[in-house]
Amino acid sequence: MPRGLWASPHSVLPSPTRSSPPPGRCEAMRMLLADQGQSWKEEVVTKDTWLQGPLKASCLYGQLPKFQDGDFTLYQSNAILRHLGRTFGLYGKDQREAALVDVVNDGVEDLRCKYATLIYTNYEGGKQDYVKALPDHLKPFETLLSQNRGGQAFIVGDQISFADYNLLDLLLNHQVLAPGCLDPFPLLSAYVERLCARPKLKAFLASPEHTNRPINGNGKQ
C-alpha cells in the first residue's frame, strides 16, 4: 500500500493558499525517502483547511505531520523518522548503535528547538547571540564524528541512519542562517558535502520540491 505524508504550512504563513509550504518537520523524512529510492504521496494542508477543524480534530495530538504507511498511521515527526529507520534498516546494526543513533537524534532535536525559538520568537533580537553560541552547540556533533572512523563515515557506524538525515537537514538550515558556521568543524563540513553528494539525495536537494520551499513559515532564515 502507498505511503502518505500530510504536511502543513506553519501557522504564521501569510497566505493560506500558499503552494510551497516550508519544509518544517517533514524535510528529513523527505530526504530519507528520496535517498532510499522510495515514492510517496504528499498532501499539503492549507491554513484554511486546517482552521475548519475536522482534520485537526482527527489528528491524535491535534497537529501535523501525519504519516500513513498502508493501514498504519503515525504522528510526531521523530516517531515517524524512527519508524522509517526501522523499516529501511537505518537504525544501526545492533542495539548499541541504535542507542547511539538515539543520542544523536535527541541532540538534533535539542538544537532544532533552539533554532525554532530563535526563528519564531526572537529573530531580530536574538540572532547575534544565537550565532555566537552556535559553535558550542555544533561541537558535540563534530566530536561524535571524530569518534566514528575518524569522521570519514556517518554519524554512527558505517551505514547511514535516520539521524543522519535529520542532522543534515538541520545543518543545511544553519548554513543559511550563519554562512561559514561549519568552517571551524572540518569533519562536519566534509560530512555535509559527503551526504549531499549521494546521487538520489543530491537529485532531491536540487529538485523544485526542495528548492522552492522557504525554509521557515515566517520568511526568516
Same domain as 206, residue 193: no
* Cis previous bond, 186, omega within 30: no
Same domain as 137, residue 53: no
Number of structural domains found in the chain? 2
Per DSSP, 123 falls in state H
Same domain as 80, residue 151: no
Per DSSP, 67 falls in state E
Same domain as 62, residue 119: no
Task: Return per-residue pLDDT of the chain as tens, 221 residues.
Answer: 445 555 443 322 222 222 334 445 789 999 999 999 998 887 777 667 767 777 776 776 667 678 888 888 888 889 999 999 999 999 999 999 999 999 999 999 999 999 999 999 988 999 999 999 999 999 999 999 999 999 999 999 999 999 999 999 999 999 999 999 999 999 999 999 999 999 999 999 999 888 877 776 666 77
> Does residue 221 form part of some domain?
no
Same domain as 76, residue 45: yes
**Spatial distance between the Cα atoms of 161 and 126, rounded to a whole number of angstroms:** 32
Residue 45 structural domain: 3-89+202-212
Find all residues with CB under 8 Å of 142, minimum gap 6, and list them: 151, 185, 187, 188
Question: pLDDT tens for residues 162-180?
Answer: 999 999 999 999 999 999 9
Could you tell me the CATH number of the domain that includes residue 20? Answer: 3.40.30.10
Same domain as 172, residue 78: no
Q: Single out the residue of 28, 24, 6, 122 nearest to residue 74, CA to CA.
A: 6
**Model confidence, pTM:** 0.86
> Does residue 220 form part of some domain?
no
Find all residues with CB under 8 Å of 127, minimum gap 6, and list them: 118, 177
**Spatial distance between the Cα atoms of 126 and 115, rounded to a whole number of angstroms:** 11
**Spatial distance between the Cα atoms of 75 and 154, rounded to a whole number of angstroms:** 27
Same domain as 104, residue 83: no
Could you tell me the CATH number of the domain that includes residue 174? Answer: 1.20.1050.10
